[in-house]
Amino acid sequence: MHFPKQVEIIEVGPRDGLQNESRFVPTEEKKQLIKQLYEAGFQRIETASFVHPKIVPQMADAQEITAFCNELGMEYIALTPNMKALERAIDAGVPQIAVFVGASETFNQKNIKRSIEESLAECSEMFRHAKAQKKFIRGYVSMCFSCPYEGAISYEQVKRIVAKFVNDGADEISIGDTNGQANPRIVYERFSALKKDFPDITFVAHFHDTNGFAYANIIAALNAGIKKFDSSIAGLGGCPFSPGATGNVATEKVVELFEAMEVKTNIHHQKLKDVANFAYSLV
């Protein structure tokens, strides 16, 4: 096995972690969480989604959260499910934009009520608009290994979406095990294939820990050459459109894992423990 000297961990807790919580987390508490994460050393944090608040009430304060992040002067990512959301995010001054498509047709329909082809067509328009504004663009591909509705997802299906994102100008692509059913073997094989087929794109690994395989999957992705990983403080999160999916990998455990392997993260470990305790108190 060959491991890098350093990795980047992208914290997604303030968005992906909190979006499913039934209790609305007060905006000031979200700001405090983001500030603490920033002070712990995270270079990039996914802070909000500009989804309609009727769909995800937890994200109703995206505008205020964005203004706060701009005041801090930090780099951050906001999720934009459609063109209208993208325009709102750009107007708010978001520096890094995330768009998403599911590799499962059924999941995509349940999640955003569009076919994969319809989603890709809109994403192309969103890419053009965001690029014209010189925004960094992250493409999320969800359900890249299996789906609770369709079962195993083929590599060709994932590759087709990734190819479209690459052609449209994505700066990085996050590959998601959205329902947490992947195992180290398929993770290694799939990321190795993606790296071979798209050598010039930056891939990010995004795991959920439904079956307890997530940390082994991180090692498998690392061994396949992946150096960027999404994680959520305190393991918060899930997906409302993926039955049985549990939380994301816990950031503090991911950092601890890499430290044990002598792989640098540039995250302050003790501060991170304090942030995790605070995050637990929010839900």
**Residues taking part in catalysis:** 239
35, burial (CB in 10 Å: exposed 0-12, middle 13-18, buried 19+): middle
What's the CA gap between 270 and 144, in Å, rounded?
Answer: 34
Q: Which helix (H) or strand (E) holds 173?
A: strand 172-177
User: What does the block give as tokens for 141?
Assistant: 């591909």
Among 237, 241, 240, which residue's Cα sits nearest to residue 106? 241
Residue 108 in contact with residue 116, Cβ under 8 Å?
yes
Tally of CB atoms within 10 A around 283? 13
Helices 116-132 and 83-92: angle between axes, nearest 10 degrees: 20
Name every residue whose Cβ is closer than 8 Å to that of residue 171 and which is 6 or more positions away in sequence.
136, 137, 138, 202
Cross-strand pairs, 172: 138, 202
Q: Measuring CA to CA, how many Å separate 257 from each of 40, 47, 126, 249?
A: 17, 24, 37, 11
Long-range CB contacts for residues 68-73, cutoff 8 Å, separation at least 24: 68/31, 68/34, 69/34, 69/45, 72/34, 72/35, 72/38
